[in-house]
Amino acid sequence: MKLSGLPRRAGVGFKPEHFLAINAAAQPIGFFEVHAENYMGAGGPPHAQLGKLREDYALSIHGVGLSIGSVQPLDKEHLSRLKIVCDRYEPESFSEHLAWSTHDSVFLNDLLPLPYTSHTLTAVADHIDQVQETLKRQMLLENPATYLLFAESTIEETEFLADVVRRTGCGLLLDVNNVFVGSTNHHMDPGDYLALFPIESVREIHLSGHSETVDDAGAPLLIDSHDTPVKDPVWALFEALIARTGPVATLIEWDNDVPDWPVLCAEAQAADDILLNASNRRAA
């Protein structure tokens, strides 16, 4: 099984509108990440662009449609499509979400939450075994941003993720914005969550922006909207985390209201500075 191995630098989620700007000069970017589903067509500009990016940069392929958290079986056709994409581009890393998005073959196109029980733990672990066996590579599982909880849950999310890692040998993608969003939404301390997170298994970090609203009782409800710069409390959590872990491959995710390339690139530079400081401190 090929292990996940991105450079311990800052990366950026690739958007086709940035291709010309990226291609115009060498960029100070450690890796690019793409959504696997956008590269499942037969040909055309998506493959031409990704083929070119792949020549110059490390690559992370991030799935958004496998529905690993479903209690129903994985879509084998979709899994074979993922294998074709991974075999073609040989990414340094493949990741997916602790969430479900398909039910009875209807694709709901959102990352939906699941209760954490021994039953769902077995289902998720079986699905990850199947993914890793098919792709012949270690996958990373990403912690979700959630807006509500299930009464039937019996396991903490951090413990659930640690159990999945133990059972499957997968790695983790720690989305720090998701931690902040989920902790705020569930009235918990994100620092406590991160203290319990199995950080020794983290191979990649995601940073992104969120938006704010309120729930029925008027309590703050944060939405994982990926449409703004990374917010200050998320930067603070990231910096404290990196002080514990040392440098980890870190992605800036900006999927909606995407800014011009220089703005996105500067956001990655800010993350890279924190990673570089951490390695300098370790070397000192």
Q: Are 246 and 278 within 8 A, CB to CB?
A: yes
Single residue of 62, 81, 137, 206 touching other proteins by CB under 8 A: 81
Q: Is residue 47 involved in binding other proteins (CB under 8 A)?
A: yes
Rounded Cα distance between 117 and 86, Å, is: 31
| Cβ proximity to other proteins, 149 vs 199, nearer residue | 149
Buried b (16+ CB within 10 A) or exposed e, 92-127: bbbbbbbbbbbeeeeeeeebbbbbbeeebbebbbeb
Torsion region of 143: left, alpha or beta (phi above 0 gives left; psi -120 to 50 gives alpha): beta
Residues 248-277 that bind other proteins (CB under 8 A): none
Rounded Cα distance between 256 and 259, Å, is: 9
Q: Are 240 and 224 within 8 A, CB to CB?
A: no
| Cβ proximity to other proteins, 183 vs 201, nearer residue | 183
Rounded Cα distance between 95 and 172, Å, is: 8
| Cβ proximity to other proteins, 101 vs 138, nearer residue | 101
Single residue of 33, 37, 142, 272 touching other proteins by CB under 8 A: 37
Single residue of 4, 178, 185, 208 touching other proteins by CB under 8 A: 185
| Cβ proximity to other proteins, 60 vs 185, nearer residue | 185
Q: Shortest approach of other proteins to residue 120 CB, angstroms?
A: 5
Q: In the numeric block, which tokens belong to residue 240?
A: 């404290």
Q: Are 249 and 93 within 8 A, CB to CB?
A: yes
Q: Is residue 79 involved in binding other proteins (CB under 8 A)?
A: no
Range in contact with other proteins (rule: CB under 8 A) among 18-26, 39-47, 54-62, 159-167:
39-47
Single residue of 112, 155, 199, 236 touching other proteins by CB under 8 A: 112
Query: Cα angle vertex 153, ends 149, 158, to 5°?
Result: 85
Q: In the numeric block, which tokens belong to residue 259?
A: 């800014």
Q: Is residue 192 involved in binding other proteins (CB under 8 A)?
A: no
Rounded Cα distance between 207 and 192, Å, is: 18
Q: Shortest approach of other proteins to residue 97 CB, angstroms?
A: 12
Range in contact with other proteins (rule: CB under 8 A) among 4-12, 23-31, 213-221, 269-277:
213-221
- Size of site (CB under 8 A) for other proteins: 56
Residue numbers of the site for other proteins (CB under 8 A)?
A: 37-38, 40-48, 64-67, 70-72, 75, 77-78, 81, 100-110, 112, 114-115, 117, 119-120, 147-152, 185-187, 213-217, 219, 221, 223
